[in-house]
Amino acid sequence: MTLQSLMKETKADTVIANGENAADGLGLTPDLAEGMFKSGVDVITSGNHIWQKREIIPLLDSEARLLRPENYPPGVPGHGSCVVNKKGVEVAVLNLQGRQSMHSLRCPFSVGLEHARRLRNHSKVLVVDFHAESPEEKEALCLYLDGSVSAVIGTHTHVQTADERILPRGTACLTDVGMTGPASGVIGMKAEISINRALTQIPYKMEVADEESVVSGVLLEIDVDTGRSLSVTRVSREVPPLG
């Protein structure tokens, strides 16, 4: 399965992908980012692991379609939002990071509302990638931004949740979109290493599992005139082994 075949199957017009774990499970490199764009990804979002590969930092400044969370402190390389034009429709994307069990950044609620209002001046269609640990924090942001954005989609925990819904004011919500990577193991990593880490409390380096993979995502249908979500559907496809 390729991204192009999945887009054709789902009739997707715009593709947003979180790429912070693309480099063997930790970080993103310029070459991998270029490959994602060439494959059909329109915007790459990220999170706390985007800083792991230092070579990506210049690209955070120069590539408008590569985002890091907007609520990092002022002066940090990169930017947290962009607007792309797809088939004559302006699509805005905003990247935020949570604070529960994560770094203490600027408030994603206040920063999110501020930038949602700014971006809505450019586009009615606005999708938020909320990279956060806590389902409580993710649900709270969904409700806080209901009506201000088209969708709040959670990333970070690698496990796709089954709580998709459209809120009363038209904002679609899913607390975690899930991962694209090995379906077995522990959140895509080799099981034996994760088990040893738990048993010994020694922080052994995690390694990506090499079994069959799964592509996880969410398909949003959005009214381009109002910015309200019309449907939200989870996507999960098995990827056959290479060869």
Cα–Cα distance, 120 to 13 (Å, whole number): 20
Q: ∠ CA(26), CA(17), CA(206), 5° rounding?
A: 20
Candidates 49, 115, 131, 158; catalytic one: 49
Q: What is the DSSP string of 29-49?
A: -HHHHHHHHHHT-SEEE--GG
Indicate if 49 belongs to the active site: yes
The full 3-state SS of 93-142, as one line of letters, equals: EEEEECCCCCCCCCCHHHHHHHHHHHHCCCCCEEEEEEECCCHHHHHHHH
Say what angle helices 135-144 and 108-119 make with each other, to 10 degrees: 40
Secondary structure class of 220 (helix, strand, coil)? strand
**Cβ–Cβ under 8 Å, residues 72 and 106:** yes
List active site positions: 49
